[in-house]
Each structure stands twice: as C-alpha cells, then as structure tokens.
Structure 1
Amino acid sequence: MRKRSWGFVLGGLLVALLLAGVVSNFASSHPDGLDSSLREGCTFDADDTITGGSCPAQQEKEHEIGGPLADYGVAGVDNDFLSTALSGVLGVLLTFAVAGGAFWLVRRRDTPAEAGPAERDDVRAGTGS
C-alpha cells in the first residue's frame, strides 16, 4: 500500500476512534426505532419501568450469555462515560482488525509471471511492492 493510502486509512481510523470514544457518549438515550416500536402500548414510570399496558417489551429478558460489551458498555467499569467510550473504541478496533484481515486475505497479489519485465526485476531484487 502506498504511503498516501496508509495516511488515509490511519486518518479514518483516528476519526472513527474519536467518534466512538467521545461523541458516542452524547448520543440520545431515547429508544431507537426497534425498541420504540416494541414499547408501544405500555405505560412507564419515571424510572422507565413498565407499569402497565400490553406490549412486546414486557417479554424482554436479560441475554443468557451476556458479554463483555453488552448494553454499549464494558462489563466491570463503573464509570458510565468511560464504559461507553471503551466499548466504542474496542468495537472500532475489533471491526478494523476483522476488516483489515479480510482485505489482507483477498488482496490482489501480482506474481512475477503476471508482472511486467521491470516489476519482475524489482521482485527478484527484493525491492518490489
């Protein structure tokens, strides 16, 4: 990969880490579309606990397996801001690693037989890309 491409990739990674680590803490705490539709028909108290009505959200249970990044936080971190930030950063890094690995596996590799004469000389000399 050329230097210019690496700069673009690293710049994008830094922006994603900043958004995931800082800006994600300022996202709306209101339920998203799916959660909102599942809560239609129920009434809630000040603590957002279902107090009556009838809606699919009444059947909600904790996930049996759980996980270290459940509910947009890191298990064991008591500070909500830090927990959300770490969860976002870890999610970005994990996604970047998986996507980078996938691209690395499927990238196009020119073999010396497919390369032109000058490129074959570079490959033999160990100076090719």
Structure 2
Amino acid sequence: MSTKRFFAVFLLVAVVVAGLLSFYASSHPDGLTKVAEDKGFISQEKEHTLKDSPLSDYGVKGVGDERLSGGLAGVIGVGLTLAVGGGLFWVLRRRGAPAGRR
C-alpha cells in the first residue's frame, strides 16, 4: 500500500469515527468530574472561560440537532488536529533538511 493511500484511508477512518461514532461515546462523566463528585468538591467547579466558544460542550454552537452538532465538532476537531500537526511536521522537516534539499 502506498503512503498516500495509507494516509487517505487513515483520514477516512478518522473522519468516520469522529463524525459518526462520537455520538455513541459514553455519557458518563470523565475522570476528573467523577473524582470531584466522589470526593465532594464538585460544588467548587467554575465555568470555563471558553464556555461560549463555537465548539464548547462537544458540539457546534448554533446547530440544533445534537447528533449532527457532535459529529461536526468531531470532524472539525480531527481537521484542526491534522492541520496543526501536519503544519508542525512540515515546518520541522523543512528546518532539518540539508540546504540542497529545500
């Protein structure tokens, strides 16, 4: 399998998992929330400064359908992660290449 084909399949799988399967993720609280509940200091929780951001609460603000909102948030998250990671990889690779190979 070629490298391009591998990355295309990887991207497709990542988008499908983020867009379709994220709706079926656990509705139970995450580890920190669970510990805060168990130890009794959940009442000290404060609102996050980014609570009104477009992707807050694992959804896209303004999209009424919960399933679609979560799926879009997952796809956007995968895209942003790949863009930032790919950009960093490209910059670092170019930086370390010998002068004749740039």
Shorter-chain TM-score above 0.5: yes
Work out the percentage of aligned pairs sharing the same amino acid: 46
Are residues 1:65 and 2:63 paired?
no
Task: Show the counterpart of 2:76.
Answer: 90
2:41 corresponds in structure 1 to 56
Give 5+ residue unaligned stretches, structure 2: none
Corresponding residue of 1:102: 88
Code of the aligned partner of 1:65 = L
**What TM-score, normalized by structure 2, do the two folds share?**
0.84
Unaligned runs of 5+ in 1: 42-54, 115-129
Q: Radius of gyration: which is bigger?
A: 1
CA distance in 2, matches of 1:64, 1:111: 45
Which of the two has greater strand per residue?
1
- More displaced 10-residue stretch of structure 1: 92-101 or 31-40: 31-40
The amino acid that maps onto 2:66 is D
Partners of 2:13 and 2:30 in 1: how far apart?
24
Question: Which structure features the higher share of helix residues?
Answer: 2
Normalised TM-score (structure 1): 0.68
Name which of 7, 13, 16 aligns with 1:15: 13
2:50–2:56 Cα contact (<8 Å) kept: no
The higher relative CO (CA closer than 8 Å, separation ≥ 6) is in 2
- 2:38 is paired with a residue whose SS is coil
Amino acid at match of 2:62: G
- The Cα offsets for residues 28-81 of structure 1, whole Å up to 9 and x where unpaired, read as 10112211111115xxxxxxxxxxxxx221122322332111110111111110
